[in-house]
Amino acid sequence: MRSINKVLKEIKEVASVDVALYSLDNSITINASGEAPSQYIIENLSKEVRYENGNTYFLVRINSVPYIAKITGEESPTVAILIAQLIKNVEAEDFDSLSDENKLRKLLLGELSEIRQHAIKHLWKNTDYFTLGLITDSYAKQTELENFLDTIRDKSDIIVKVDEKFMMYYRKVSGEYSNTEDFANILYENVKEELRIDLKVAVVGEINTFEDFSESYVKAIETYELGKIFAPTVNIWVHRNFAIPKLLTYADKKLLKSTLDSIVKEGSENVWEDDELMTTAEAFISNSLNISETSRVLYIHRNTLMYRLDKIERETGYNLRVFDDAVVFKFITVIRTVLKKEE
């Protein structure tokens, strides 16, 4: 990393600022002296500048890989941002010497020219993959997850850590799982049982071409962003399930408002503001209007579920046990979320 060292030296000469770089696991250090970043800094650093023991810490990226930068002494956020930009603009290594994972990461982030995309096509294994985005709440949790995946992965599987919280997992398709959603559910339950960490899963689906692979991260991010808005209490989001919410997001808001006014019973708006009733409705619809399965998932008695469904019908006029009514109710819920997002 001679070019990075050169930049850090120039910063020292011009601005009299000492900058050191640390990988998130502290296994790689550049120009380091004194104490390394604490675990608190590692787990809580994102876009913000943080201060600890008289030092300034902030996040920088070299070839898309996150590092923690430490300035000896306390500097303003503006200085940190300028230094981060200087470092980001430096190619720390020649492209050919990058690891396969880093090359694939740059591909997923859209940072490769067509020539370089062609150059790494050989990394694509000619097979079908169940494709998931796995999102943890810290780098430490991501490391735990990666170690766990290493124990279950097939040699043909591909794992790419896109940033300190977002990881793409490409699982070779096999007869062990019926589809990507089946694999996602089983993986989520195993992770929850073994690691007990907070995990969100963005289900992209099945892919089988290099072109699909290069677009998979965009779909995973889109699924994640839509999931946070339209299904915040859910842990597994499926890309194809957000087709209607995505479409309505771009629809004319006046038309959505007039549509809502025409299909929502006056005085029933409080149902959509009731967390308990909405959790019940969403679970019931997600479980294919199945009374027994919904009761099991919500850990409530069958009679309690029936009471809540009756209350929703009484106040809104929509009987969620009837498919058409359930569809309209879900449609109303999505429109309300879209309009609320625009407020």
Instruction: Let me know whether 215 and 104 are in one domain.
Output: yes
pLDDT at 92 over 50: no
Among 63, 93, 123, the domain boundary falls at 93
Among 93, 128, 154, the domain boundary falls at 93
Instruction: Let me know whether 102 and 232 are in one domain.
Output: yes
pLDDT at 90 over 70: no
Instruction: Let me know whether 191 and 270 are in one domain.
Output: no
Question: Parallel, antiparallel, or unpaired: how do β-strands 65-71 and 55-62 relate?
Answer: antiparallel
Helix (H) or strand (E) holding 83: helix 77-88
Once rounded to an integer, what is the mean pLDDT over residues 2-15? 79
| Domain assignment present for 245 | no
Instruction: Let me know whether 230 and 286 are in one domain.
Output: no
Instruction: Let me know whether 161 and 60 are in one domain.
Output: no
Give 309: exposed, middle or buried? Use CB within 10 Å, 0-12, 13-18, 19+: buried
C-beta separation of 182 from 197 below 8 A? no
**pTM, rounded to two decimals:** 0.70
CATH of the domain at 11: 3.30.70
- Angle at CA of residue 96, ends 94 and 98, nearest 5°: 75
CA-to-CA distance for 183 and 192, rounded, in angstroms?
14
| Domain assignment present for 164 | yes
C-beta separation of 129 from 218 below 8 A? no
- In the chain, the number of structural domains is 3
Instruction: Let me know whether 29 and 48 are in one domain.
Output: yes
Instruction: Let me know whether 256 and 184 are in one domain.
Output: no
| Domain assignment present for 246 | no
- Which structural domain, as residue segments, surrounds residue 147? 98-240
Once rounded to an integer, what is the mean pLDDT over residues 118-141? 88
Instruction: Let me know whether 139 and 207 are in one domain.
Output: yes
pLDDT digits (tens, 9 = 90+) for 243-286: 999 999 989 999 999 999 999 999 999 999 999 999 999 999 98
Instruction: Let me know whether 232 and 261 are in one domain.
Output: no
